[in-house]
Amino acid sequence: MNVDRRQITTLVFDVDGTLYRQSGLRRAMLLKLLVHAVQNIGSSFATFRILREYRRAQEVLRETHVDGDLTAAQMRIACQRSGYSDAIVSQTVTRWMEHEPAPLLERFMDPGLRSFLTAAKGRRLRMGVLSDYPAADKLAAMKLSEFFEVVVSAQDAAVNRFKPHPSGLLEVLRRLGATPPQALYIGDRHDVDAAVARAAGVHCVILGRRGEATAAEGFTAVANYERLEKLLFAPDGADGPGAPTAA
């Protein structure tokens, strides 16, 4: 995939795994959950089962058209598959997927992220976020809110679909006043983030992938934000992304 950086006016970011290292957070959260399990043996099985089924419900809904509210549909599937009530599932998800991870997020940010965002802002690129879950609180926890003009999630009324359906990405572009050829979507999952970018006709960078992406995969593989900053913002001829295919 060739990207003319002079054409790019807009950057859109995934959140989980893209603005912070999801593997590190998952290890930290697993430790928290294990401590919780030791202290609360009676409820620990329920916690693990509910979180597992809630995540699986998201994957089921990625390829499914939902009539009605997306959050309610995911909750309904998680309740059915876990065998627990809506109240218990909601309480568990809120605690372990929203409240408990928040204080840890900044610790797992890529060291080059803030420098990249500052460089992009200095070049007056417009920036937004598209996430499968509400992201405003996560951005605040990472002290990144100032960089993003638009924050869209799958649960927004104008979207109501998980990636890779393109409605969310197109909604971000609409709010930012950009067209697909002017945008670059930055994510970490080629099966989801590259797919949504392809569906919306947007250039895509996948962070953290080792090796090169093939032309058929339709995205640029980049190791980290330090490398991406060089690809996008280096002086012409120095290290620019005339054909950015290497990580």
How would residue 211 be classed by pLDDT, with cut points 50, 70 and 90?
low
Calpha distance 159→153 (Å, rounded): 8
Query: What does the pLDDT read at residue 210?
Result: 56
The yes-or-no verdict on residue 239 having pLDDT over 80 is: no
C-beta separation of 115 from 228 below 8 A: no
Which pair of tokens denotes residue 211? 């090796």
Is the pTM for the entire model greater than 0.85? yes
Which pair of tokens denotes residue 114? 């803030």
Residues sharing a CB contact under 8 Å with residue 95, sequence separation 6 or more, in sequence order:
none
Between helices 70-82 and 41-62, what is the axis angle to 10°? 130
Tens of pLDDT along 22-70?
A: 999 999 999 999 998 888 877 788 999 999 999 999 999 998 888 899 9
Burial code (b: 16+ CB inside 10 Å, e: under 16) for 26-53 equals eebbeeebeebeeeeeeeeebbbbbbeb
Query: What does the pLDDT read at residue 65?
Result: 85
C-beta separation of 205 from 228 below 8 A: yes
Q: What angle do CA 158, 161, 70 make, to 5 degrees?
A: 90
Beta strand pairing status for 126-131 and 220-222?
unpaired
The yes-or-no verdict on residue 216 having pLDDT over 60 is: no
